[in-house]
């Protein structure tokens, strides 16, 4: 089975589940830095992936790159991750943008628990590997080193497993999601959900109490 079919089917199912809240439009994306899909920071590492393919028990091996893409729509800079890795990125074709996209619980948990830890090339690649694992794995557990989808050992693969191990106890709702889809690789970006006004007032009140106690001391 071709991975693109798996990823697109899962992504489509997730989006349809939240279609009532999602809004779609079309946009042309370009690189933030000309010719550099990962930007000047170069948050990427090489990966060797294996996925069971066409009944071959050994699996088909793909050598590529995992990391954080850096796009712009001409107004906003976007850091995105691939949700369809075994297809070429088609930056020349307009993307259908779905804002407030609904995603699976595991994707939501992954972003809520680990996206803030993406701070360099190793962690960006690790997050991408973990996202692919969540989307592609058909086994009972998420294990980077085995199963239908696997990645050869590396610092990024090890960290990806750490991210995946957090899912059992992770919460959801930390981010809003936007997806970008065309005939090539599909992308997902995330924006942190701001605290509601009531929570901000509570935090402000607690901070004020703390300040008063320090003054009294």
pLDDT of residue 64: 87
Compute the mean pLDDT over every residue in the chain, rounded to the nearest whole number.
83
pLDDT of residue 183: 93
User: Could you give the residue ranges of the DSSP H alpha helices within 115-216?
Assistant: 121-136, 155-165, 197-216
Q: At 66, phi and psi to the nearest 5?
A: -120, 140
User: Which of the two residues, 142 and 199, has the higher pLDDT score?
Assistant: 142
Q: What share of the chain has pLDDT > 70, as a percent?
A: 76
51's CB contacts (< 8 A; 6+ apart) are 3, 59, 60, 62, 86, 136, 148, 149, 150
pLDDT digits over 78-127, tens only? Answer: 999 999 877 889 999 999 999 999 999 999 999 999 999 999 999 999 99
Highest mean pLDDT among 55-64, 81-90, 143-152, 186-195: 186-195
Highest mean pLDDT among 58-72, 156-170, 193-207: 156-170
3-state secondary structure string, 50-64?
EEEECCEEEEEEEEE
pLDDT of residue 145: 92
Residue 192 has pLDDT above 90, yes or no: yes
pTM surpassing 0.85?
no
User: Which of the two residues, 10 and 149, has the higher pLDDT score?
Assistant: 149
pLDDT digits over 5-37, tens only? Answer: 444 544 444 444 444 457 779 999 999 999 999
């Amino acid at each position: 089975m071709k991975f693109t079919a798996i990823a697109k089917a899962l992504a489509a199912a997730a989006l349809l589940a939240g279609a009532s809240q999602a809004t779609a439009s079309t946009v042309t994306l370009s690189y933030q830095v000309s010719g550099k899909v990962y930007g000047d920071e170069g948050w990427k590492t090489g990966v060797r992936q294996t996925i069971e393919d066409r009944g071959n028990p050994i699996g088909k091996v793909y050598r590529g790159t995992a990391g954080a893409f850096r796009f712009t729509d001409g107004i906003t800079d976007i850091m995105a991750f691939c949700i369809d890795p075994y297809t070429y990125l088609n930056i020349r074709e307009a993307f259908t943008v779905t804002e407030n996209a609904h995603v699976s619980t595991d994707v939501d948990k992954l972003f809520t628990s680990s996206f803030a830890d993406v701070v360099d090339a190793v962690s960006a690649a690790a997050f991408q590997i973990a996202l692919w694992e969540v989307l592609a794995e058909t086994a009972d557990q998420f294990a980077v080193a085995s199963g239908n989808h696997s990645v050869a050992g590396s610092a990024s693969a090890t960290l990806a497993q750490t991210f995946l191990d957090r899912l059992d106890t992770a919460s959801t709702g930390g981010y809003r999601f936007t997806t970008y889809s065309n005939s090539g690789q599909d992308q997902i970006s995330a924006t942190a959900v701001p605290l509601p006004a009531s929570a901000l007032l509570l935090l402000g009140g607690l901070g004020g109490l703390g300040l008063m106690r320090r003054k009294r001391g």
